[in-house]
Amino acid sequence: MITSQNNFHAHGKLLLTAEYFVLDGALALALPVKLGQSLDFGFRPDSYRDSDFGNAGELHWQSFDEKNECWFEVKFSLENFEILQTDDPAVADRLQKILRKARNLNPGFQQSTINNQQSTINSHLDFPRLWGLGTSSTLVYLVAQWAEVDAFELQFRTFGGSGYDIACAGADGPILYSLKNGKPHVEACDFHPTFANCLYFIYLGQKQDSREGIKNYRLRIADCGLGAQEAVSKISDLTRQFLASQTLAEFDDLFRQHEALVAETTGLPRAKSLFFSDFWGEIKSLGAWGGDFVLATSDRPEEETRQYFNEKGYEVFLPYEALIL
Please state which CATH number belongs to domain 3-188: 3.30.230.10
Return the ∠ at Cα 114 (arms to 41 and 58), rounded to 5°: 60
Cβ(260)–Cβ(289) below 8 Å? no
Domain ranges of the chain: 3-188, 196-323
Range in 66-75, 158-167, 192-201, 268-277 with the lowest mean pLDDT = 268-277
Q: Is the pLDDT of residue 40 over 60?
A: yes
Range in 28-42, 182-196, 201-215, 287-301 with the lowest mean pLDDT = 201-215
Residue 93 confidence (pLDDT): 97
Residue 111 confidence (pLDDT): 64
Measure CA of the first residue to CA of the last residue in the chain; give whole Å: 36
Q: Is the pLDDT of residue 166 over 60?
A: yes
Cβ(132)–Cβ(168) below 8 Å? no
- What number is the average pLDDT over the span 226-233? 77
Residue 162 confidence (pLDDT): 92
Residue 254 confidence (pLDDT): 96
The amino acid sitting at 38 is: S
Range in 2-16, 262-276, 292-306 with the lowest mean pLDDT = 2-16
What's the chain's average pLDDT?
87
Question: What percentage of the chain reaches a pLDDT higher than 90?
Answer: 68
Alpha-carbon distance of 140 to 154, in angstroms, equals 7
DSSP code of residue 268: P
Cβ(46)–Cβ(56) below 8 Å? yes
Helices and strands of the chain, counted as H and E runs: 10, 12
Q: What is the pLDDT of residues 247-278, one digit of tens each?
A: 999 999 999 999 999 888 888 888 899 899 99
As beta bridge partners, residue 62 has 73, 122
The helix/strand/coil state of 183 is strand
Domains 3-188 and 196-323 share a fold: no
The yes/no answer on whether domain 196-323 falls in CATH 3.30.70.890 is yes
Alpha-carbon distance of 48 to 54, in angstroms, equals 11
pLDDT band with cut points at 50, 70 and 90 for residue 214: low
Phi, psi (degrees; rounded to nearest 5) at 108:
-85, 0
Q: Is the pLDDT of residue 3 over 50?
A: no
Residue 57 confidence (pLDDT): 76
Helix crossing, 248-266 with 210-221: angle to 10°? 70
- What number is the average pLDDT over the span 64-93? 94
Phi, psi (degrees; rounded to nearest 5) at 38:
-120, 160
As beta bridge partners, residue 288 has none
Residue 115 confidence (pLDDT): 47
Q: Is the pLDDT of residue 69 over 90?
A: yes
- What number is the average pLDDT over the span 210-214? 60
Residue 38 confidence (pLDDT): 97
Q: Is the pLDDT of residue 172 over 70?
A: yes
- Higher pLDDT: 240 or 119? It is 240
Indicate the burial class of 51 (C-beta count within 10 angstroms; 0-12, 13-18, 19 or more).
Answer: exposed
